Chains A and B, each alone.
Chain A
């Protein structure tokens, strides 16, 4: 994990776009089934799965921030009010 990923939304957008492109490629390849295309489809699906997993990891960290945000930050703000 990078020490700082402040542009997390941008990174998730990159991952979404990559997965979407991979899905488009798979759709096209599946219309012309042959050995080469079958191998290419497997590769693209494997990469898409890994990207989805990376995105889930980032989202999980973001959810943990929200818990921190709700429980601590709001108390801090309230104490200053």
Chain B
């Protein structure tokens, strides 16, 4: 299987964007968050995503797939094209077999170039581990004769069931028509027909193929907004971060001084949080449920204009009308609570109280925004946040002990 070598390496004009002009929304190198990549420790399905930067990855073909395009509201199987199904590997894993370069999109997906477009392939391996079989289950809900049923199923780490891929592709097209997802354009589904040397060589596996205008997540924008403050704290020595335990150690952090210095950060977080809340409310007002499994700030994408797109629809996305009024309302309630709780936890866990003020500020603003009409994040704020973050990114990256992927030995990148 040599098809993956036909893929071009992703064009990366610069590995170290210095400002918002150099920052690429569809290849957000320099971003970090909880939906970005993974740290240098075993990535597991059984715990929360890592606070990590975007990772450069090498693509290694592991199977055969056929691309089934989704056009004009339907899947079209007449013109099948072979799609080299690959898994992502770390550049630094010692394996030097040839393969094009891409960028991580969360722990399970990658951004690559294909036929002149920048696409996201969901999914193509779990972090550095490929396709893993862990004792990890999740829930699926089905409707039958007006009743809804939940069943557990074993998660195939790093892969997506074909039925899920078809469902997500179709639903993305629907919400894109509703102007709820400008950043992702569904192109189709790769139907995997051969996947040897995995735990699931005969299962029905698929991957969603979307063309992306942006993959910058709201959680990454929030982390960028906090970045200048973190740089100051890391440099002063008052704060340090242990990537093993994910604990923020602080020595003599003045709470009053922190709050004074954090005023500009609070203001930015409030604007981002209100927009995120209003985006979620717009989705509910249009009659959709986000899905509890996707209710957090890592499944929303921001573009350069500040528009927020809802992406990753495999966590329970559906229509409220498919439920009774009471159950739809209960589902809506748990989604909002889940968003608040999960986002708050990500922004406050193992942090001193002063740092947790930032997380509280974001979720409180989300709560306010949820009561308001939709409004995107001001585009000048997006640019400002990126500029201020990239100015201190080397300091922040060192402070978090983030791994550094360099392209040494990979002549195929940076053409």
Contacts and interface: CB of A to CB of B under 8 A. Distances in A.
Interface string A40-52: 1001101101110
Nearest to A48: B77
A22 B191 CA distance: 13
Contacts of B80: 40, 43-44, 47
Nearest to A23: B77
Interface in B299-318: 313-318
30 contacts: A1-B161, A2-B164, A3-B140, A3-B294, A3-B317, A6-B141, A6-B143, A7-B167, A7-B318, A7-B322, A8-B142, A8-B143, A14-B166, A21-B78, A25-B77, A46-B66, A46-B194, A47-B68, A47-B77, A47-B193, A50-B204, A50-B205, A54-B166, A55-B163, A62-B144, A65-B142, A65-B149, A66-B144, A69-B149, A73-B147
B148 interface: yes
Residue among B68, B166, B317, B319 with max Cβ neighbours from chain A (10 Å): B166
B77 A4 contact: no
A52 B376 CA distance: 42
A68 B191 CA distance: 31
B317 A4 contact: yes
Contacts of B316: 2-4
Contacts of A4: 140-142, 289, 291, 316-318
A21 B76 CA distance: 9
Contact of A22 (B77, B153, B315): B77
B203 A61 contact: no
B75 interface: yes
Contacts of A51: 162, 191, 204
A53 interface: yes
Interface residues of B, number: 51
A50 B153 contact: no
Interface of B: 64, 66, 68, 75, 77-78, 80, 82, 138-144, 147-149, 151, 153, 161-164, 166-168, 170, 191-194, 202-206, 289, 291-294, 313-319, 322-323
Contacts of B139: 3
A41 to B, nearest CB: 11
* A interface SS class: helix
Contact of A6 (B168, B205, B206, B322): B322
Interface residues of A, number: 37
Minimum-distance CB pairs A-B, first 8: A3-B316, A54-B204, A46-B193, A65-B149, A53-B204, A54-B162, A4-B316, A6-B322
Given A6-B318, A47-B68, A57-B161, A21 B143 contact: no
A22 B192 CA distance: 16
B66 A43 contact: yes
A64 interface: yes
B144 A2 contact: no
A69 B151 CA distance: 12
A36 to B, nearest CB: 13
B112 to A, nearest CB: 22
Interface string A57-81: 1100110111011000100000000
B160 to A, nearest CB: 9
B138 A3 contact: yes
Contact of B66 (A25, A47, A53): A47
A25 B167 CA distance: 24
Residue among B163, B168, B202 with max Cβ neighbours from chain A (10 Å): B163
A69 B168 contact: no
Contact of A3 (B66, B162, B205, B292): B292
A54 B163 contact: yes
Contacts of A65: 142, 144, 149, 151
Given A11-B166, A54-B204, A61 B153 contact: yes
